[in-house]
Structure 1
Amino acid sequence: MLRSFLAASLLTVVTLTPATPAAAATGPCQLAGTAGLADLIPGNSTLGLSALQPATVDLPPQIHLRGTTGTFNRRWSFALREGQMYVKEASGNGGWRTMSLPACLTGHVTGISVDDDELVALDEGGNIYTMDHALNAPWTWNWTHRYGAPLWLGGGNTVPYRSARWTWSVLSPGEDKVWRDTAGNDHPAGGAKVSHVFALSDDGSRITYVDPWLPVDHSYEMSTPLRGRFQAQALSTAASTSFVINRYGDMYTRLYDFDIAGSDRIFFSYSYEDQRGATFPKIQLPAPDWMRQPKIPGQVTDRISIHKTGAGSDARELRVEGSDQGRAGYWSKTLTASQWTFTPTGEPLEGNVLQNTPADRSTDTLAAPSPYHYTGVLGQVTAHVGEFAVAVEATPLILEAGGQEIQLTLHTVDGLRQTPQAPGLTSQPRGFNGSIEVPQAVLDNLDSYHPALRALVRDRLKSARFTDTDVTVTDQTMTIAHLDLPLNRT
């Protein structure tokens, strides 16, 4: 977010000196590296690799799936053992070498994830540390504890939920170039990068993300499939494409991040109006939804992985650990392919074996629906919004008058904040970028509705398909600004 304009400005603000006490990290490491700056050091060399000591622990010949103990990008494979990190070329050349870490991190790393040119590591307290230039030569690698507003200068953040099921994602202009919205229009990845830590809640039904340019909190969420009720066993994300699987082997993928969602209206233009064929298209909303992936015809575990394979938002490969005819390895396919192929590795299965079934069992384990229901009255019209959830982008807005009912859609997307917000809905007002959608069938037959309903659609909404509006919500109230309509929780 804000990256196109502010990445260059960051160069004039950040120095490679420890942060001031006001920006102190929540953990023991006080590190200030180059993460968040423009990448000014080109190169594809391995300079500095030979200076690292050969690994003396047992490590696999290759990392096949991105996880929190082994991970890879286009250039490097990384592994974690007992708090220490190791590296080798992703091409398979050479052996593993022991990475040189900051003294305060050595022996204290509990999880790692790399995507593009940034690697994230956690310590025992769940504190986030970022290693920059992860696509470049080892001599360029450096670390920072900085994380959060303003401009990746915040005092540090932690992984949401203290989750062990987390992943690092980077969408970049250098590697990805563009991403495609639901209207089929390609948009530049931006002047810098979009970087998020995504984390899965204990019950697997909530995905929270923390962006290094957003407030130091755990308030931003991406809905899981089925209106946030799908319960995932595992999560992997690369280049803003998330991949989830449940206990029955049902899998979904989704392209989503803060910018794609429609949250940054200061630096991007969005529209719910159809942008297909537009000369200068805005980013089409709503953001791409979850896409169901075909089931795997064999045994699988909850070790899943996604990684980028080239430019464009379809250039992704999915991998799932499993077995075929007694051989251990992984199943894989490109994001849009219809069939999976199996690759044996000769390595034992590490994940938990799932009850993979040919039938779709996505709804067999659903989290409870959201308990937030709101009702208000505007003249003769009663409005109702049920099961509102902060991460669900579209919620029915029911208008009733004279025994008749119109179902509209209230679109909501978290807005841009620079101060902390409590997770979920609380007494603290939470602002959303909203839009009210009126079905075309309602507009075509408006004269058949009760006069109060007709007047609301014609006078307040100007008989438009979409009307943008601010929406403010607490755990007890909802206000839809354009309708001048306060609703109370019921």
Structure 2
Amino acid sequence: MPEPSVRHGMLAAAAGLVLTVAAPQPIAAAEAPACTLIGTVGTPESGADETTAGLDAFPAAATPLPDQVFFRTTAETFNRRWTFAVREGAIFVKEAAVRGGWRALPLPECMAGRITGVSADDDELMAVDADGRFLTMDHILSAPKDWNWSSRYGTPLWTGPGNTLPPGTLAWTWSVLSPDEDHVWRDTAGNDHSVGGAKVSHVYALTDDGHRIHYVDPWLPQDHSYEMSTPAQGRFRAVGLSTSGSTTLVVNRFGDLYTRLYDFDISGADKVFFRYSYEDQRGRPQAPDTLTERIDDHYAAIQLPAPEWTRQPKIPGQITDRVSVHKTGIGSDARELRVEGVESGRTGYWVKELTADHWDFVPTDQPLVGHLLENTAADHSVDDTVGASPYTYAGRTSSGVTVRVDSFDLAVSPTPLRLEFADGSRLDLILHTVDGLRQTVQQSGITDQPRGFDGTLEIPADILASLPDQPAQVREFLQTTLAARHFTDTPVRVTANEFILDNLGLTLSRAR
């Protein structure tokens, strides 16, 4: 088993292999030229060339482009060194710190004239072609001479045959959390954790008319099965999305803004490489590195549940759906948020640091690109047009206790688990679910294909503290079934018709 510090670092070895990679499926060969590009991807950045070596070899751009780019979108994007733009299927590049100076980025034949969007973060650039296929360029914190393309994506170890945007994608963004740029990220207990010796890279895609977010990790199966819920327990309908360093910013049509620190590793899913706990980790010492944290339980584990959505202050002015987040330094709080808008008749953007309590306005006098939002003073986070999940399950234990899970959503956690006893007493437990690590393809959503979760049952602290005063049947259940423990792990398996809590020996059926 590899050390945790090489979560994505094993690609350094994989990069030296001679690989034959098929074009992503299901894309017919007649739709586009074969695109099998074997470049290094996901390798930790070491010894980046701070020069512009290789840039002069790119032809000067003949296409009109802005002197400066202020937003990370899929039309224009940037990291701390370079700015990229897409026009008519081509990619252009310039130094981020220089006004103008655009050059055309030479592309492999199978990509030329076919690019519909790009997103840069850290030292990686994700491009999407006309068929929605992912094409990654690595080492973009280095000089252009070091840049290389790969069509690889998916298990094993980012050497899979490729992947595409999820069906119905409205907006997408590329995110990279790295040891060289971010160093650490902070959990809900206030503890910092090392990113490790490698990176966490995801495409985040806004789908289902804006109320679902899929994330696609290049180390995971070639599917679209993993999700991060939108705010308001998944009942928020976003019209804008941006992610950098695993920090996502969304906005709805009423100008409600939320941010969240979340990725596959932070979610609690990567138990092979990381140690997690629902027990309170506040005040425990922070490990010096990921390997020590993984093997030495003297140090704080990663606190679960993962960070939730944070509501950001309303912007005191006119805004559009063009939003952007980017890194500004070390740590997961080092993020800047930008929202396109208008102030006193001038166009520009509203800006704040992630944890700041107010927005400032920066005029650019550039034409607005995004769609104007209503930006009401009232909170419209819950969209009444987004219904609750239709997946409700119920069943009965061998001792006659009725158990019910209402409106289960695979991306929303925790979920109430209601128990009703023969004497009329009730008990609401808290069921935490994490969509765990898998290496085989899983269908999106809840289907007839069994879907496994890492489950944890929590007895609410007030119930546990008043255990002697609880009704006799409630007390007996907690003591005999859950051993009166605050947290009890249990694998959870879900289909469209069944909800199974393995360690409790309990199968619930879909309630119609």
TM class, shorter-length: over 0.9
* 1:160 corresponding residue in structure 2: 166
Tell me which of 372, 393, 404 is aligned to 2:413.
Answer: 393
Tell me which of 442, 456, 459 is aligned to 1:421.
Answer: 442
Task: Give 2:406's aligned amino acid.
Answer: G
Of 118-127 and 354-363, more deviation after overlay is shown by 354-363
Can you give the 5+ residue segments of structure 1 that lack an aligned partner in the other structure? none
Task: Report Cα offsets for 1:180-237 as digits up to 9, x if no partner.
Answer: 0000000001210000000001321100000000000000000111111110011100
* 1:407 corresponding residue in structure 2: 428
Tell me which of 107, 118, 127 is aligned to 1:112.
Answer: 118
Task: Give 2:410's aligned amino acid.
Answer: V
Is 1:382 equivalent to 2:383 in the alignment?
Answer: no
Distance of aligned partners of 1:397 and 1:39 in 2 relative to their CA distance in 1, 3 Å threshold = same
- CA RMSD across the alignment: 1.7
Task: Give 1:400's aligned amino acid.
Answer: E
Q: What SS class does the counterpart of residue 245 from structure 1 fall into?
A: strand
* 2:15 corresponding residue in structure 1: 14
Q: Structure 2 matches for 1:63-212, cutoff 5 A?
A: 63-93=69-99, 95-212=101-218
> Following TM superposition, where does structure 1 have runs of at least 4 consecutive aligned residues deviating by more than 6 angstroms?
22-25
Task: Give 2:237's aligned amino acid.
Answer: Q
In 1: Cα distance, 2:408 partner to 2:8 partner: 35
How many angstroms does 1:16 deviate by? 7.3
Report % sequence identity.
55
In 1: Cα distance, 2:24 partner to 2:348 partner: 45
Task: Give 1:465's aligned amino acid.
Answer: H
Task: Give 2:441's aligned amino acid.
Answer: P
In 2: Cα distance, 1:43 partner to 1:425 partner: 47
How many angstroms does 1:9 deviate by? 3.4
In 2: Cα distance, 1:344 partner to 1:22 partner: 45
User: Contact (CA 8 Å) 1:73, 1:116: kept in 2 or not?
Assistant: yes
How many angstroms does 1:443 deviate by? 1.7
Is 1:435 equivalent to 2:456 in the alignment?
Answer: yes
* 1:304 corresponding residue in structure 2: 323
* 1:462 corresponding residue in structure 2: 483
How many angstroms does 1:39 deviate by? 2.9
Is 1:453 equivalent to 2:474 in the alignment?
Answer: yes
* 1:61 corresponding residue in structure 2: 67
In 1: Cα distance, 2:452 partner to 2:164 partner: 24
Distance of aligned partners of 1:115 and 1:429 in 2 relative to their CA distance in 1, 3 Å threshold = same
Q: Structure 2 matches for 1:15-54, cutoff 5 A?
A: 15=16, 19-21=20-22, 26=27, 28-54=34-60
User: Contact (CA 8 Å) 2:23, 2:36: kept in 1 or not?
Assistant: no
Is 1:278 equivalent to 2:284 in the alignment?
Answer: yes
User: Contact (CA 8 Å) 1:231, 1:365: kept in 2 or not?
Assistant: no
In 1: Cα distance, 2:383 partner to 2:224 partner: 29
How many angstroms does 1:37 deviate by? 2.5
Q: Structure 2 matches for 1:354-393, cutoff 5 A?
A: 354-378=373-397, 379-393=399-413
Tell me which of 264, 269, 278 is aligned to 2:275.
Answer: 269
How many angstroms does 1:160 deviate by? 1.3
Distance of aligned partners of 1:177 and 1:298 in 2 relative to their CA distance in 1, 3 Å threshold = same
Task: Give 2:364's aligned amino acid.
Answer: T
Of 378-387 and 2-11, more deviation after overlay is shown by 2-11
* 2:365 corresponding residue in structure 1: 346
User: Contact (CA 8 Å) 1:271, 1:284: kept in 2 or not?
Assistant: yes
User: Contact (CA 8 Å) 1:53, 1:97: kept in 2 or not?
Assistant: yes
Distance of aligned partners of 1:297 and 1:382 in 2 relative to their CA distance in 1, 3 Å threshold = same
Of 265-274 and 477-486, more deviation after overlay is shown by 477-486
Q: What SS class does the counterpart of residue 10 from structure 2 fall into?
A: helix
Of 474-483 and 443-452, more deviation after overlay is shown by 443-452
In 2: Cα distance, 1:435 partner to 1:305 partner: 35
In 1: Cα distance, 2:5 partner to 2:131 partner: 32
Task: Give 2:499's aligned amino acid.
Answer: M
How many angstroms does 1:8 deviate by? 4.3
Task: Report Cα offsets for 1:325-381 as digits up to 9, x if no partner.
Answer: 110111110001111111111110011000011222212445110011111111121
* 1:336 corresponding residue in structure 2: 355
Task: Give 1:372's aligned amino acid.
Answer: Y
Of 38-47 and 477-486, more deviation after overlay is shown by 38-47
Is 1:326 equivalent to 2:340 in the alignment?
Answer: no
Q: What SS class does the counterpart of residue 393 from structure 1 fall into?
A: coil
User: Contact (CA 8 Å) 1:262, 1:270: kept in 2 or not?
Assistant: yes
In 1: Cα distance, 2:273 partner to 2:4 partner: 9
Q: What SS class does the counterpart of residue 434 from structure 1 fall into?
A: strand
Q: What SS class does the counterpart of residue 50 from structure 1 fall into?
A: helix
Q: Structure 2 matches for 1:219-258, cutoff 5 A?
A: 219-258=225-264
User: Contact (CA 8 Å) 1:16, 1:33: kept in 2 or not?
Assistant: no
Of 299-308 and 32-41, more deviation after overlay is shown by 32-41
Tell me which of 465, 479, 482 is aligned to 2:500.
Answer: 479
Can you give the 5+ residue segments of structure 2 that lack an aligned partner in the other structure? 286-298
Q: What SS class does the counterpart of residue 36 from structure 1 fall into?
A: coil
How many angstroms does 1:468 deviate by? 1.2
In 2: Cα distance, 1:156 partner to 1:168 partner: 16
Instruction: Return the TM-score normalized by structure 1.
Output: 0.97
Task: Report Cα offsets for 1:54-80 as digits up to 9, x if no partner.
Answer: 110110111100001100000001011
In 2: Cα distance, 1:35 partner to 1:49 partner: 21
User: Contact (CA 8 Å) 1:175, 1:311: kept in 2 or not?
Assistant: yes
User: Contact (CA 8 Å) 1:473, 1:479: kept in 2 or not?
Assistant: yes
How many angstroms does 1:172 deviate by? 0.2
Task: Give 1:454's aligned amino acid.
Answer: R
How many angstroms does 1:103 deviate by? 1.4
In 2: Cα distance, 1:246 partner to 1:270 partner: 32
Tell me which of 292, 309, 317 is aligned to 2:311.
Answer: 292
User: Contact (CA 8 Å) 2:79, 2:122: kept in 1 or not?
Assistant: yes
